[in-house]
Amino acid sequence: MKKWKSWAAVMLAGIWMLSGCSQPTEDTHITSSPVKPQLIQPSEGTVVTTVTSPLAANANGSPAISPSGVQWVYMSWPIPSQYVSSPLIGGRDDTRISQLLQWVEQAKRVDGKGLSAPLHGRSMAVNIEFSPERKIVIRPAWTCDSSKDAKGNTRTSCKPVDSRVWIEGTEGEPYFAQSDTLYAFVNKGYLDWMPNVNPYEAPSQLPIGGPFTIRGHGARTGQVTVALMKGNSTLWVQPVSVKEGEWLLEGQVSDQLSAGDYEWKINTGITTFLQPIHCERTNLNR
């Protein structure tokens, strides 16, 4: 009797697992080809704009939010991404930061019919950061269509909408806006001011006892940490100062290190990167 009960439990578990596998699924597909605003449904091409801008410029035309309060301006990519942007830095790039804030102020709010807010981590974004807790984020607005197949699986297809953006972090709730300038900037225009860079450059192979150089780009903290790891063990660690997003570490591999595979662990204070490195002995250090 006990044996029958155990087999029954196994059978029920198998049935539950199979039924779980057949549960309806949801899939979101993003395409990069933009859609013209007049083709969006159900707005039928009509755009309702507000009377006032979400941020009122000062009488002299300067932005209502001073660029002096901005620490960084940087891009973020759809996940995963191998790049970071060379950031605009408050106090150094105030002219460009001021221009970007003016574009935000000049963007015209729209009613948002037929538009969808982009999913976090699934679209390009401009981030104007005043502090880690406060930033203005600009993304291209989407239009999305959903359909279900015979099994109940939902497929959602989203496309960016030409000249439409989604803005959050200003006064009030997030909103959709019409701005040719911001739309172009968040897609490719940013490259003129903030080129794509690799977050670090580190060797993947070194001779034991030999020198090494590791460079970093686009860092947004005052210090990064570089460590040499063997599994979970930290063999060596070194803090490195950051200047205007750039950092440089030069050193030498200990001649006491055993030949084998290791990892660089690079902590920027925002993201941690791991890169394999192979160390081997040469004829000179055997």
* 184-204 pLDDT, tens digit each: 999 999 999 999 999 999 999
Q: Are both 250 and 119 inside the same structural domain?
A: no
- Long-range CB pairs of 127-130 (<8 Å, 24+ gap) are 127/72, 127/73, 127/74, 127/75, 127/76, 128/70, 128/73, 128/97, 128/100, 128/101, 128/104, 128/169, 129/70, 129/71, 129/72, 129/73, 129/74, 129/220, 130/69, 130/70, 130/71
Q: Are both 192 and 202 inside the same structural domain?
A: no
Q: Are both 103 and 63 inside the same structural domain?
A: yes
Does 110 reside within a domain?
A: yes
pLDDT score of 120: 76
Distance of CA 19 to the CA centre of its chain: 36
Return mean pLDDT, the chain.
Answer: 82
Residue 273's CATH number? 2.60.40.1930
pLDDT score of 177: 96
Q: Are both 254 and 179 inside the same structural domain?
A: no
Does 3 reside within a domain?
A: no
Q: Are both 115 and 189 inside the same structural domain?
A: yes
Local confidence band at 29 (pLDDT 50, 70, 90 cut-offs)? low
User: Exposed, middle or buried by CB within 10 Å (0-12, 13-18, 19+), for 186?
Assistant: buried
pLDDT score of 35: 58
Does 285 reside within a domain?
A: no
Expressed as residue numbers, the domain containing 271 is 198-280
Q: Is the pLDDT of residue 8 over 50?
A: no
Does 237 reside within a domain?
A: yes
Does 2 reside within a domain?
A: no
Q: Are both 202 and 190 inside the same structural domain?
A: no
pLDDT score of 32: 52
Q: Is the pLDDT of residue 236 over 60?
A: yes
Q: Are both 146 and 192 inside the same structural domain?
A: yes
Higher-confidence residue: 36 or 120?
A: 120
Number of domains in the chain: 2
Q: Are both 145 and 174 inside the same structural domain?
A: yes
Q: Are both 212 and 266 inside the same structural domain?
A: yes
Please identify, among 143, 166, 196, the residue that sits at the C-terminal boundary of a domain. Answer: 196
* 159-189 pLDDT, tens digit each: 999 999 999 998 789 999 999 999 999 999 9
Please identify, among 176, 196, 216, the residue that sits at the C-terminal boundary of a domain. Answer: 196
Parallel/antiparallel/unpaired status of strands 154-168 and 26-30? parallel
Local confidence band at 22 (pLDDT 50, 70, 90 cut-offs)? low
Q: Is the pLDDT of residue 250 over 70?
A: yes
Q: Are both 143 and 218 inside the same structural domain?
A: no
Beta strands in the chain (DSSP E): 26-30, 72-76, 84-85, 88-89, 108-109, 125-131, 134-148, 154-168, 175-178, 196-197, 200-201, 205-207, 211-216, 223-230, 233-241, 247-252, 260-267, 272-280
Q: Are both 207 and 192 inside the same structural domain?
A: no
* 129-150 pLDDT, tens digit each: 999 889 999 999 999 887 777 7
Nearest to 182 by CA among 109, 93, 85: 109
Does 247 reside within a domain?
A: yes
Does 20 reside within a domain?
A: no
Average pLDDT over residues 271-284: 89
pLDDT score of 51: 35
Does 138 reside within a domain?
A: yes
Is residue 170 within 8 Å of 182, Cβ to Cβ? no
3-state SS track over 187-218:
HCHHHHCCCEECCEECCCEEECCCEEEEEECC
Please identify, among 151, 180, 196, the residue that sits at the C-terminal boundary of a domain. Answer: 196
Q: Are both 210 and 272 inside the same structural domain?
A: yes
Cα–Cα distance for residue pair 70/66, rounded to 1 Å: 8
